Structure 1
Amino acid sequence: MLAGLLFAIHDADDQPDRLAATLPFGGLTLIEYQARLLIAAGAAQIILIVARATPELLGAISRIGRRGVAVDAVRSAAEAAEKIHPLARVLMIADGLVTTEGIVAGLAQEGGDALLVVPETDAPTGFERVGGQMAWAGVARLEPGRIAEVARLPRDYDVQSTLIRVAAQARAAHVELPVTALRDGHGIEHHAGSLDRRSRTVLAASVAGRRGWFDRYVLAPVARWTLPLLVYRKVPGEGVAAAGAILGGLGLFGIASGFAATGLIAVLLATMTLALGATLGDLRDQPRLVLAERIAAVAMPLIAILLFGWAVRAATEDGAPLASAITLAVLAGLGERAIPSATRRSWWGSPSAHLVVVTVSAMLGVPMLGLAVASIYAAVTLADAIEKLRQQP
């Protein structure tokens, strides 16, 4: 069992009457974002050590609870020790830490005490020294006994700092922060203005960090510019989903009406819009909308490919394009079903990636070549995914 440990202790530097953990972040609060990272890593319980109960914090706790995890707010290490299961692994995130899902997931694996660290020479403000010329980078995996040790100390000790020192004295393993993480916004922030700038970087990096070349090299550059605007202008998730659906519908109509290249481009843009909408909905706790957008982002490219094959068959009076399109859709659909996102290799295909291949071939006037190449690509992806599944214990 994995339990998350969060803190809402420090006041914001520029808003002394507000906890830094409740500052706005990506359309929610920072502590809600941290809780989302823990839940994505597998946490079934979240403990919040708080300094005081503010209206913003109470609202955040209520919204975290809606994600289906047990949430307990406590004021001391002793109370936290009582709430955490003795056999749980504790994943702790620093008060005010901004990071990405991949960083947190890396510390969520089985094992003993471990500290995420960075060389002192590279450590930004707020990172605590842990010895060995290293500084704590804000994430730690702890045994429950560490919290019990701190609970036996005087109450005026800083719980977060003391836990790190106790773990360091117990020779916790050091896991070095990836060199790109600081560039992607990883850091501790207690200032509202700086947090706003950092959150924009992290939101874009969260898309760029996904596996798969389409997400990383096509979707991520678009997300870097558009996602922060959608968040901070409070564009409703339903509006993004509607825009994607309308654009996709127009694209499919265009393919069926003989404007194949234009229609395929429109469907590709619609798929990207739906993917961005799913990220936005995930931040805003809209699980049904997220599920619908993710399904549409997979189904729409496959439908477009089938329509394209049908359109080419009608134009050439040759059944090969439609047969190739059907084969491609089946292979791509099976591959998407068989590949867990966490184990996806960067070169593997996806419905969106196959749609890019078909769209480029349509623009170049060689539709059959594009369908054939994409079908082979889908077959190789599926075959490699099956072999990887067979190698798992």
Structure 2
Amino acid sequence: MSFAAVICASHSTVATPSPAKGGGVELRAGLQFAGHSLVEYQARQAAEAGASHILILVSAVTQALSRAVDRLTADRIPVALVRDMVSLVREAPRDRDMLLIADGAIIAQKYFTAVAAHPGNVLLCLDDTRASAGFERIDGQHRWAGLLRVSPDLLFGTLDMLGDWDLELTLMRAAVQAGGYRVVVPQEDLLEGRVALVESQASADLVAQALLGAQRDIPSTEGGAEHYVLSRLAAQIAPMLLRTQVPAIQVRMGGMALAAMGVIAAVLGWPLFGILLMLCGLIASLTADRLGQLARHSQDDGWVALMPSLIVLLGVIVLGDEAGARMEGIYLAILLGIVLLAVRWRRASGQKWWLLFTPGSALILIFLATLVSGVSGGLMLATLCALGSVGSLVLGKRA
């Protein structure tokens, strides 16, 4: 059964109002998280989970909220702002369940998927422990984690109530009384920040770093040295860029520039320096992947995402040409391109990551071999490894 979603976005932060902002109180929904506002991040999560329509319940429409709606609409995510219960009753669909996201709730995507998989009344819960003391208590055993799904009957039965009441807590209590199904979050996920309620920018930054460091629910599009070495460096760099709100596309362009500078260095006869620059370009590209993943943007499998790696393949050809082994460089670049596309487009499922000889793997091997026997020896050894990797892909697919 399809469902819609409503995001509560009217509570203020615990921070003192800033005079630079005219003394106004900042909303939790406006906190910066994963490259944009928290409410935009929540809306992208709901859309990824399958919400057909998203409503944002606000106390006042601000420019920041309007810009967030414009960005979501540009990405073909149906979203609208509602200011009161009357508007919510008018806008909410009566033929599908409603997913409710609490104000300031940051929840890992896998729990959105788990709640969305059960029709009817569903609550995301935490065990009642000292670590979960900041969440709303349900009973002596559980606390509410900030996400629930309710049926149309329960939703509109609650919305028809008279008086001044809180939508989040009232719907949560109604779902509990209706015997809603409970999805319980493990204690370790709570401690790791994969479920949190943030009330300030500092707490939002801490949760962002925790989620970026884990990312266990995101499918990998890497292999070889990118998976084992370069991605670890990218995971260290991404949190620093996240705090500065650097867009992923700018990081990607930086990776392209670094890789191109490496090719130029190889042309000028500095192969070791060129290889290091090309490796830096690959690290920047992987960092851009992580920033985009945390921001819940769809995985970029287009040619722009592949450009740093494609420039590296050009660099491999240049290395071969400068070492007097032009054909070896061309053959190696073709083999690496096949592996690259297989990994990036998820055509290498079931393969061991160490069997995938990627551009990063080739650069590291060539660098080490150059220190011992020269570039031509590294190209020959890398070509043999690439042949074995392509062979494992073909034979693995056959099996």
TM-score range, shorter chain: 0.7 to 0.9
Match among 295, 311, 319 for residue 306 of structure 2? 295
Instruction: Kindly report which structure 2 residues correspond to 1:27-38, keeping only aligned pairs within 5 A, or say none.
Output: 27-38=35-46
* Residues 256, 311 of structure 2: 8 Å contact kept: no
The answer as to 2:200 corresponding to 1:196 is no
Query: In the alignment, which of 366, 380, 385 is matched to residue 373 of structure 1?
Result: 385
Q: CA deviation at 1:357?
A: 2.4
Comparing 145-154 and 257-266, the one that deviates more: 257-266
TM-aligned CA distance change 1:283 to 1:336, over 3 Å? closer
Amino acid across the alignment from 1:3 = A
What TM-score comes out, normalization by structure 1 length? 0.77
Please state whether the residue corresponding to 2:388 is helix, strand or coil.
helix
Which residue number corresponds to residue 391 of structure 1? Answer: none
SS in 2 for 1:12: coil
Residue 48 of structure 2 aligns with which residue?
A: 40
* Cα displacement (A) at 1:248: 0.6
Percentage of matched positions with identical amino acids: 24
Matching of residue 363 in structure 1 with residue 367 in structure 2 = yes
Which residue does the alignment assign to 1:8? 9
CA contact (8 A) 2:121 2:148 kept: yes
Q: Distance in 2 between matches of 1:161 and 1:382?
A: 55
In structure 2, what residue type is equivalent to 1:253? Answer: I
Shift of 1:250: 2.0
2-structure distance, mates of 1:383, 1:170: 54
Q: 2:279 aligns with which of 268, 288, 292?
A: 268
Residue identity matched to 1:65:
T
Return the alpha-carbon distance in structure 1 between the equivalents of residues 50 and 397 of structure 2: 24
Q: Structure 1 residue 126 and structure 2 residue 134: aligned? A: yes
SS at match of 2:183: strand
* Residue 323 (structure 1) shift: 3.7
In structure 2, relative to structure 1, the CA distance for the partners of 1:64 and 1:161 (3 Å cut) is same
Contact 2:252 2:305 in 1 (8 A): no
User: Which residue in the other structure is 1:159 paired with?
Assistant: 167
**Structure 2 counterpart of 1:183, which letter?**
E
Find the residue that maps to 1:274 and give its secondary structure.
helix
- Counterpart of 1:266, as a letter, is L
Q: Counterparts of 1:106 and 1:383 in 2: how far apart (Å)?
A: 36
- What pairs up with 1:1-393 in 2 under 5 angstroms? 1-15=2-16, 17-76=25-84, 79-109=87-117, 111-121=119-129, 123-131=131-139, 133-178=141-186, 179-180=188-189, 182-184=191-193, 186-206=195-215, 209-211=218-220, 217-218=228-229, 221-235=232-246, 239-255=250-266, 259-277=270-288, 280=291, 293-304=304-315, 310-311=320-321, 314-315=324-325, 322-323=330-331, 325-339=333-347, 347-348=352-353, 354-365=358-369, 366-381=378-393
Q: Check whether the contact 1:81–1:147 (CA below 8 A) recurs between aligned residues.
A: no
The amino acid that maps onto 1:51 is S
My pick for the range that moved more, 325-334 or 268-277, is 325-334
The change in CA–CA distance for 1:64 and 1:322 in structure 2 (over 3 A counts) is: closer
Tell me the alpha carbon deviations over residues 136-178 of structure 1, each in whole angstroms, 9 at most, x when there is no partner.
2222333333322321323422211222222233333332325
C-alpha contact 1:201 1:224 (8 A) present in aligned 2: no
- How many angstroms apart in 2 are the aligned matches of 1:147 and 1:292? 45
Q: Is the 8 A contact 1:116 1:176 kept in 2?
A: yes
User: Are the aligned partners of 2:55 and 2:82 in contact in 1 as well (CA < 8 Å)?
Assistant: yes
Task: Name the SS of the counterpart of 1:40 in structure 2.
Answer: helix
Long gaps (5+) in structure 2: 18-24, 370-377
Q: Which letter maps to 2:361?
A: V
CA drift of 1:270 comes to 0.6
Q: By how many angstroms is 1:75 displaced?
A: 3.9
Query: How far did residue 188 of structure 1 move?
Result: 0.1
1:56-85 CA-to-partner distances (Å, cap 9, x unmatched) read 434433443333222222245564344233
Describe the shift of the 1:335–1:379 C-alpha distance in structure 2 as closer, same or farther (beyond 3 A). Answer: farther
Mapped contact 2:102–2:147 kept (Cα < 8 A)? yes
Residue identity opposite 1:85 in structure 2: P
Q: Tell me the TM-score normalized by structure 2.
A: 0.76
> What is aligned with 2:372?
none
Q: Is the 8 A contact 1:252 1:304 kept in 2?
A: yes
Q: Say whether the 8 Å CA contact 1:212–1:348 is kept in structure 2.
A: no
Q: Is the 8 A contact 1:6 1:47 kept in 2?
A: yes
Task: State the secondary structure of the residue aligned to 1:273.
Answer: helix
Q: Is the alpha carbon distance of 1:349 and 1:171 closer, same or farther for their aligned partners in structure 2, counting shifts above 3 Å?
A: farther
Sort the Cα spacing of 1:87 and 1:132 in 2 relative to 1 into closer, same or farther, 3 A. farther
Distance 2:97 2:389 in 1: 41
Larger Rg: 2
User: Given the superposition, is the C-alpha separation of residues 120 and 285 from structure 1 closer, same or farther in structure 2, using an over 3 Å criterion?
Assistant: closer
Report the AA paired with residue 174 of structure 1: R
CA distance, structure 2, for counterparts of residue 248 and residue 272 of structure 1: 10
Q: 2:230 & 2:196 partners in 1: Cα distance?
A: 25
1:348–1:381 CA contact under 8 A, matched in 2: no
Deviates further, 11-20 or 321-330: 321-330
Q: CA RMSD in A?
A: 4.0
Following the alignment from structure 2 to structure 1, what is the Cα–Cα distance between the partners of residues 309 and 95?
39
CA change 1:42–1:234 in 2 (3 A) is same
Q: How many correspondences in the alignment?
A: 380
